[in-house]
Amino acid sequence: MRLSAETLIPASVQAPGYDRAAQTAGIVHIGIGAFHRAHQAVYTDDAMAAGERDWGIIGVSLRSGDVASQLNPQDGLYTVSARSAVGTGLRLIGAVQKVLVAADDPQAVIDAIAAPTTHIVSFTVTEKGYLRTADGSLDLAAAKGPSSLYRFVGAALAARHAAGLSGLTLLSCDNLANNGAVLRRLMREYLASDHPDLVDWFDAQCRCPATMIDRIVPATTDADRAAIESALGVRDEGVVVTEGFSQWVIENDFAGPLPRWENVGAELVADVAPYETAKLRMLNGAHSALAYIGLGKGHDYVHQAIADPAIRAVIERLMRDEAAPTIDAAPGQDLSAYADALLARFANPALHHRLIQIAMDGSQKIPQRWLETLAWHQKRGARCGSLEAAIAAWIAFLRSDRPIDDPLADRLRAAAAGPYAIERIFGEGGLVASDWRPA
Ligand code: CS2
User: In terms of CATH architecture, what is 273-426?
Assistant: Orthogonal Bundle (1.10)
Q: Quick check: CB of 215 below 6 Å from ligand 1?
A: yes
- Is 20-269's fold the same as 273-426's? no
Task: Read off the pLDDT band of 424 (50, 70, 90).
Answer: very high
Task: Read off the pLDDT band of 63 (50, 70, 90).
Answer: very high
The pTM assigned to this predicted structure is: 0.97
Q: Quick check: CB of 378 below 6 Å from ligand 1?
A: no
Alpha-carbon distances, residue 244 vs 90, 91, 168, 232, 357 (angstroms): 11, 12, 31, 20, 20
Pocket residue to mutate for ligand 1, from 277, 284, 355, most atoms within 8 A of Cβ: 284
pLDDT (tens digit per residue) in 145-203: 999 999 999 999 999 999 999 999 999 999 999 999 999 999 999 999 999 999 999 99
pLDDT for position 66: 98
Q: Please give the angle made by the CA atoms of 291, 432 and 397, to the nearest 5 degrees.
A: 30
pLDDT for position 245: 97
* Residue-range domain boundaries for the chain: 20-269, 273-426
211 CA to centre of ligand 1 in angstroms: 14
Mean pLDDT confidence for 234-257: 98
Q: Quick check: CB of 363 below 6 Å from ligand 1?
A: no
Give yes or no for residue 227 having a pLDDT over 90. yes
Mean of the per-residue pLDDT values for the chain? 97
Task: Give me the CATH topology for the region 20-269.
Answer: Rossmann fold (3.40.50)
Strands across the sheet with 240-242, in order?
A: 87-93, 78-84, 240-242
Q: Quick check: CB of 287 below 6 Å from ligand 1?
A: yes
Q: Which ligand 1 atom minimizes the distance to the CA of 217?
A: 9
Pocket residue to mutate for ligand 1, from 287, 301, 369, most atoms within 8 A of Cβ: 287
Residue % of the chain over a pLDDT of 70: 100
pLDDT for position 439: 79
Mean pLDDT confidence for 45-59: 98
